[in-house]
Amino acid sequence: MFPDCETCWYNTLDEEAEEYFCALELDEDEFFSIRNEHGGRCRYFRPCGSEYDIVRKQN
């Protein structure tokens, strides 16, 4: 995962596996092309907003 994944809007908890994953569901080729093209920064990164945004995402 990218360094910013922990604070990304698309970082979602899988309660069954008890781990986080990217909700964008990129395939392996897309994931590595993003890493190579953007110097390790995901072009889909969207920072989590305030606490209210997080609650809105959960509902």
Expressed as residue numbers, the domain containing 43 is 5-58
Count of structural domains within the chain: 1
Backbone angles phi, psi at 2, to 5 degrees: -80, 160
Distance CA 6, CA 33 (A): 20
Digit-coded pLDDT (tens) for 10-55:
888 889 999 988 888 888 888 778 767 766 678 888 887 666 665 6
pLDDT of residue 16: 92
Query: Higher model confidence: residue 1 or residue 28?
Result: 28
Query: Higher model confidence: residue 23 or residue 5?
Result: 23
pLDDT of residue 8: 86
Beta bridge partners of 12: 21
